């Protein structure tokens, strides 16, 4: 995408950092507004490594706070204008527990971080994005929304199904505009996000994949890049599975 303005939430995640590197390496790199929570230093270090200057802007914000998210959306419009692409990645680290240990506080926090933030931000951006000749929204979902969801991930499963409902609703409502709204539904990805998941679970996931391994951030980012590209201009309202063939 040529000198676009891309707003990337959850940018300090392993997938976010990988996406920034890939976008920055493009022949005509976009300007990237990189949301982070408490890891602005990680974004700043990457900016120095890439010699990105003001092409990579860290934007700290606590997505647990509704007011902070509203303020962030307003400040982006005021200082940078409306982005023509939004990639939504944030989420709490995975909690692998039986349903009887459902933690309502953790669930509400993750719902705020992953879903409410997207609603607030996109309500602010989409009216202007709809007037652009071409704009993109990409959600990072999960393969849990395809087929039978896994056991012991009830909090995570519910949040991802809610995000899927939002993605499909927006795709329906904005289908007649220049916006495309899509999602990447990844299988288990080897990142810091899995720090609280037992090693045996990760090993079983890798063994169950036809590819014999879990996904990497590079695998997921390749799919996101495609959905951001002009080549995906007629692709709308889909979940693109990145699962190594484990789920279709």
Which residues are part of the catalytic machinery? 156
Contact at 8 Å (CB) between 23 and 32? yes
In whole angstroms, give the CA distance from residue 116 to residue 123.
Answer: 11
Q: What number of residues does the chain have?
A: 248
Reduced to 3 states (helix: H, G, I; strand: E, B; else coil), residue 170 is helix
* Largest distance between two CA atoms of the chain: 51
Computed from CA positions of residues 111, 169, 69, 28, in that sequence, does the dihedral angle turn out positive or negative?
positive
Beta strands in 130-231 (DSSP E): 135-140, 179-186
Order of strands across the sheet that contains 239-242 = 56-60, 31-36, 5-9, 85-88, 135-140, 179-186, 239-242
Query: Residue 85: phi, psi to the nearest 5?
Result: -150, 135
Closest CA to 4 of 123, 136, 106: 136
Closest CA to 29 of 12, 14, 8: 8
Contact at 8 Å (CB) between 74 and 19? no
């Amino acid at each position: 995408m040529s000198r676009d303005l891309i707003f990337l939430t959850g940018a300090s995640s392993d997938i976010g950092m990988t996406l920034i590197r890939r976008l920055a390496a493009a022949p005509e790199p976009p300007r990237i507004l990189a949301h982070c929570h408490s890891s602005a230093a990680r974004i700043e270090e990457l900016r120095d490594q890439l010699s990105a200057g003001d092409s990579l802007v860290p934007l700290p914000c606590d997505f647990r706070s509704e007011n902070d998210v509203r303020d962030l959306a307003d400040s982006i419009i005021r200082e940078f204008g409306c982005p023509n692409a939004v990639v939504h990645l944030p989420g709490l680290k995975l909690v692998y527990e039986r349903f009887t240990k459902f933690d309502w506080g953790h669930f509400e926090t993750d719902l705020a971080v992953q879903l409410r933030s997207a609603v607030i931000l996109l309500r602010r951006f989409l009216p202007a994005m709809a007037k652009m000749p071409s704009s993109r929204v990409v959600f990072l979902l999960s393969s849990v929304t395809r087929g039978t969801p896994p056991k012991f991930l009830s909090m995570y499963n519910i949040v991802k199904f809610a995000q899927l409902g939002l993605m499909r609703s927006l795709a329906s409502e904005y289908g007649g505009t220049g916006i495309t709204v899509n999602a990447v539904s990844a299988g288990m990805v080897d990142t810091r996000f899995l720090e609280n998941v037992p090693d045996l679970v990760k090993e079983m996931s890798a063994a169950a994949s036809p590819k014999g391994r879990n996904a990497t951030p590079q695998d997921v980012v390749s799919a996101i890049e495609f959905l951001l590209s002009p080549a995906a201009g007629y692709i709308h309202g889909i979940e693109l599975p990145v699962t190594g063939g484990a789920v279709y």
